[in-house]
Amino acid sequence: MTRIVSFLPAGTEIVHALGAGAELVGRSAECDFPCAVQALPVVSRPALDLEGRTPAEIEQAVGARLRSGASLYQVDERLLAALAPDVVLTQDLCQVCAPSGTELSRALGALPSRPAVLWLSPRNLAEIEQNILDVGEAVGRVAAARALVAASHERIARVVAAVEGTPARRVGFLEWIEPCYCAGHWVPEMIARAGGADPLGRAGADSQRIEWEAVIAAHPELLILAPCGFGLDGAVRLGRNLPSLPGIRAAAVDANAYFARPGPRAAEAIELLAHLFHPDRFAWPHGPRPWAWLDEEP
């Protein structure tokens, strides 16, 4: 049996989606889906305690630590060695998402035998699919990975067909507030597939800081709030502190489940956006709503 340690929530989700969840032996503190993974030993934790801080305070604390050259994560090197992984999943796309660089290299270098390390750092939907295929190969689930990617293609194709011929909804998508950050990497592509257009999005590129005035000046019909690292309740709480939104309807969404973790739920994220943009064309086909309109009573 392959022994897998995942430092990345998206990697953990991929492993489970491929039917290899029983082979996970360690996780990061952020790996919380599916719920069963929370029983696994934690091999990395955030170095900063950000609980209860405002978005502006989080931004300031994270920025200060990065500028100092210190890591945002602490790796339990003894535990990692005891778990003796054959495969390690991590990323080097975002320093806020998982350990990368010197702290992880040092921990891996101290292991008695070197595991295979997969760096899952997608910038678009095609690269998310390639990550799934790469993990499938590394953990001996090639057929399952191909089937998962094919099923995702079919779901996205149904969305595209449903919204075809409908004028694109002009939207704004924020990955952070106080300060605001626009949509980046795979999210603008998701928006386009769902029948939307985000003039501030940066497809395949890093999200970047923008002014609130730029959001208003883009004249979105809808504003989607998906603060990285937050579920639905947290996104709603942050969204209710936004400035007034003249003529713009805003929805908070579960960013952790659908947008901040590039993995098996990418197709479901596109389905979610399609329903928000074109509810008459695409009904939400799943369970409880992972969004909340901010103009509705809580």
Distance CA 197, CA 200 (A): 9
At residue 32 the predicted structure's pLDDT band, cuts being 50, 70 and 90, is: very high
pLDDT in tens, 125-154: 999 999 999 999 999 999 999 999 999 999
Distance CA 260, CA 282 (A): 23
Average pLDDT of the chain, as a whole number: 89
* pLDDT score at 110: 72
> Looking at the predicted structure, is the pLDDT value of residue 287 above 70?
yes
- Structural domains in the chain, CATH included, are 4-121 (3.40.50.1980), 166-293 (3.40.50.1980)
* pLDDT score at 157: 98
> Looking at the predicted structure, is the pLDDT value of residue 162 above 50?
yes
Q: Closest Cα to residue 263, out of 43, 6, 59, 39?
A: 6
Pairing state between β 209-210 and 180-182: antiparallel
Residue 223, classified by CB atoms within 10 Å of its CB into exposed (0-12), middle (13-18) or buried (19+), is: buried
State pTM to two decimals. Answer: 0.90
* pLDDT score at 241: 81
pLDDT in tens, 79-113: 999 999 999 999 875 444 445 555 677 777 777 77
